[in-house]
């Protein structure tokens, strides 16, 4: 049995998902054209802050939270008619998560290349 490396899994995900630059994601966010979802762990948010107007859903709960029957969707906190844009610290976890959401049937899903640190450098406001 051959075990794939995490890097191989991320590369396979990148080949099948939409990747946005931080600038593209910021434009969509400013035009209210997306749901910006931060999948970093809570300790990362506490240490580094969070992106203004983003929704935090830890990676481990993502599939349960972005389902049409979830409280996030039913309450209107997440609008599945908008593009779902995921980000993490550097882009690996969000690439894997975007691939999983596509496999669930979500068509408008993407992730941000470079993750949180690059987003901050490109103009996203941290709160």
3-class DSSP state of 50: coil
d(CA 56, CA 69): 18
Complete domains list, the chain, with CATH: 6-121 (3.40.250.10)
Average pLDDT per 10 consecutive residues for the chain, totaling 127 residues: 94 96 95 95 96 96 95 95 97 97 96 96 95
Instruction: Give the Å distances, CA to CA, from 65 to 1, 15, 61.
Output: 33, 25, 6
Q: What is the pLDDT of residue 108?
A: 96
CB-based contact 83:110 (threshold 8 Å): yes
């Amino acid at each position: 049995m051959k075990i794939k490396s995490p890097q191989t899994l991320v590369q396979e995900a990148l080949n099948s998902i939409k990747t946005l630059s931080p600038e593209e994601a910021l434009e969509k966010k400013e035009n209210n054209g997306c749901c910006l979802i931060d999948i970093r762990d809570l300790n990362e948010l506490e240490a580094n802050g969070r992106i203004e107007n983003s929704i935090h859903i830890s990676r481990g709960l993502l599939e349960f939270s972005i389902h049409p029957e979830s409280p996030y969707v039913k309450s209107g906190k997440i609008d599945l008619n908008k593009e779902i844009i995921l980000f993490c610290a550097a882009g690996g976890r969000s690439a894997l998560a975007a691939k999983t959401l596509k496999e669930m049937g979500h068509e408008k899903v993407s992730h941000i290349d470079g993750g949180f640190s690059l987003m901050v450098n490109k103009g996203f406001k941290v709160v």
